[in-house]
Structure 1
Amino acid sequence: MKTKFYTLLLSMAAIPVFSQVGINTTTPQSTLDVNGNVIIRQIPQGSSVSGYQVLAINQTNSEVSRLDAALLSGGGSTVNSSVYAARKASGAVTLLSLGIFPSGFQAVNFVNAERTVGQASLFSDTDNTYTVPSTGVYAIGFYFRYGTGIQGALITDAPGVGIVRTRAGVSTVIDSRAFSGANLGILSLTISESSVNSMYPLQAGDKISFGLTGSSFLNASILSTSTSSFYIYKISD
């Protein structure tokens, strides 16, 4: 019996041990190199990304690597490099007119010092614009409150909030919303508070300005008590 046992051990020791195994390839490049499709019949389902890793394929060498699952949902240590937001407090708002702006549009004088999140390189204090870093679809929100937000008269020239895109030297209003008003006979009111929030296709290098449309008749003293804010970030290629 002992003789048979020793014979088995010697036989196993004689079996060559390979450090790399190839399937459909005679030149494996890793511990397991599969040259072909892989089918997995059953996979248990997780309830959240916390504590999990995902497998990703390197497009250069087809090597499979682990990634933190939180990266897929924008979490982890990944930062959306297009994110930028700023807010102007009461007493800091003035309006700027440039020759390239569409008629009636004046930009709010946002500056980098007022940013609440984002990289300073995304915004220019020279022309008060955000520069789109890469082509894609962007979520943009812009808010403006003129004075207290309610005026006891209808404002001439129907002002409102607007977003302007400047591309190759040509400026275009890509979205706007007028302040709402009501004439009640004995009382006229303007709700001088409005916002724009939507998604917009933009190209790398586009400059985005935030301001007011039809604003030539706004009272400077009321404007000085106004507030404004905006945010912008890329959501899709």
Structure 2
Amino acid sequence: MKTKICSAILALMALPFAAQSGAVGINTTTPQATLDINGNLKIRQAPTAASTTGYQILAVNQNTGGDFEVSRLNPQLIADLATQGGTTGVAASVYSARKTAGVTLVSATVFPTGFRSVNFVNAERTVGSTAVFSDADNTYTVPSTGVYAIGFSFRYGTGLQATLLANSPGVGIVRTRNTTSTVIDSRPFSGANLVVLNLTISEGSVNSLYPLQAGDKISFGLTGSTLLDATILGTSTSSFYIYKVSN
């Protein structure tokens, strides 16, 4: 029995083990925390929690110096990180705006022929960060590559005109990538002939999923709009939303 006890003591003494000033080190003689393990940590069993309420998550801080300190992490922070919005709970890609008056259409040399963008500005946003939208060119800048849900609607005046509109105007979304602009979706206003009266239903919308790259600029506007009445444009309404749904 004495031989077994001595052998166990000698085995423990052979481990690089230190206890200094309340700090315990395993495989290190200079522990930097209350328990400092220089090696792999294995846990064979752990109970399963029914919910995250009242629990903290243990996470490893991967320091560049190799000191992988373990810290507590609130599960809500994981949810916030998943939406890429830090602690706000709003994803960095989410942005929407609504314009109810003062609509004008802006031309740019890079735009495809016949397209002019609506003069949205950050002050008209309903949700989102000002960092992803530029008042200088009325564009949304894609923060990260992935698939985005985009919706855009426009109503010209009251939404119903007593004559057919020239140039067949409609709504459109333009993507500018590396100074090249492309209409990625569009839809013309609808015309209807009611026996003796030609009418244009002068409102439309587009919404779908679009693959985009980081740095793409998105413009929302009208196609075939060169002959629209400026006075009616001023009383028009328009809105859009955009957010990332997948990598």
Counterparts of residues 15-164 of structure 1 (less than 5 Å): 19-20=23-24, 22=26, 26-27=27-28, 31=35, 33=37, 35=40, 37-40=42-45, 42-46=47-51, 49=52, 51-60=54-63, 61-74=67-80, 77-78=87-88, 79-90=90-101, 92-164=102-174
Change (3 A) 1:124 1:152: same
Does structure 1 residue 191 correspond to structure 2 residue 201? yes
Corresponding position of 1:8: none
RMSD: 3.1
Counterparts of residues 201-220 of structure 1 (less than 5 Å): 201-220=211-230
Cα displacement (A) at 1:17: 9.6
Higher relative contact order (CA 8 A, sep 6+): 1
Cα displacement (A) at 1:176: 1.9
Q: TM-score, normalised by structure 1?
A: 0.74
- CA deviations 1:96-130 (Å, max 9, x no partner) are 12121011111111223333334434333322222
SS in 2 for 1:117: strand
Between 1:178-187 and 1:212-221, the stretch displaced more is 178-187
Change (3 A) 1:149 1:37: farther
Does structure 1 residue 222 correspond to structure 2 residue 225? no
How many residues in Structure 1 have an aligned counterpart in Structure 2?
216
Equivalent-residue separation in structure 2 for 1:99 and 1:89 (angstroms): 27
Q: TM-score, normalised by structure 2?
A: 0.71
SS in 2 for 1:209: strand
Change (3 A) 1:77 1:195: same
2:18/2:25 contact within 8 Å kept: no
Cα displacement (A) at 1:174: 1.5
Deviating runs (4+, > 6 A) in structure 1?
Answer: none
Equivalent-residue separation in structure 2 for 1:131 and 1:59 (angstroms): 31
Identity of aligned residues (%): 62
2:149/2:209 contact within 8 Å kept: yes
